[in-house]
């Protein structure tokens, strides 16, 4: 029996918490070492709390509705949260030549989960590959832009 993406998506909030646990001890200092207009730990916590609530909401919507539109919404959100965020952490680690807090969970949890969820959703909902990729790309784009500004320009969006 193949896993159901409508149930699998319920793991996403747990993975987010594990990712934040990796980031929390050093992300603010890492970020502030790159960006002159830094952030506080309170802002870091608030942003991640909001991300958790959105992730939980998206997961609940898909788990309860089991609709194609909800699957595309989940792909877009997880494209932002997991795909885009992983690319930020991996890209920063490679570009700067040092650990970017969050890169381990990005590699071991976020990317494998996102790809698994995507494959399950393509199959279960008979999504067109191009539509799913467009949703993931649109979702990831804000994180990629923000990551570029942080790593290569030393600034943030807001």
Asked if the structure places residue 51 within a domain, the reply is: yes
Residue 48 domain flag: yes
* pTM confidence score: 0.94
What is d(CA 137, CA 128) in angstroms, rounded to the nearest whole number?
14
How many Å apart are CA 86 and CA 90, to the nearest integer? 6
Let me know if residue 158 belongs to a domain. Answer: no
Unique residue bearing structure tokens 């590699």: 107
Per-residue pLDDT of 13-35, as tens digits, reads 999 999 999 999 999 999 999 99
On whether residue 73 sits in a domain, the answer given is yes
Does residue 70 lie in a domain region?
yes
Residue 26 CA from chain centroid, whole number? 18
pLDDT in tens, 45-68: 999 999 999 999 999 999 999 999
* Residue 37 is assigned to a structural domain of this protein: yes
Per the structure, the count of domains in the chain is 1
Q: Determine the structural domain holding residue 88 and report its residue range.
A: 5-153
């Amino acid at each position: 029996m193949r896993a159901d993406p409508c149930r699998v998506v319920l793991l996403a909030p747990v993975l987010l918490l594990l990712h934040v646990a990796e980031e929390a001890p050093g992300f603010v200092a890492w970020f502030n070492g790159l960006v002159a207009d830094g952030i506080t730990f309170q802002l870091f916590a608030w942003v991640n709390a909001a991300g958790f609530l959105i992730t939980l909401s998206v997961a609940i919507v898909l788990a309860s509705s089991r609709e194609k539109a909800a699957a595309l919404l989940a792909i877009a959100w997880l494209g932002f949260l997991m795909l885009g965020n992983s690319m930020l952490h991996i890209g920063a680690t490679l570009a700067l030549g040092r650990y970017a807090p969050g890169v381990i969970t990005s590699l071991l949890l976020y990317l494998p989960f996102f790809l698994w969820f995507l494959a399950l959703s393509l199959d279960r909902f008979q999504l067109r590959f191009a539509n799913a990729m467009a949703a993931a790309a649109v979702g990831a784009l804000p994180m990629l832009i923000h990551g570029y500004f942080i790593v290569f320009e030393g600034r943030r969006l807001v």
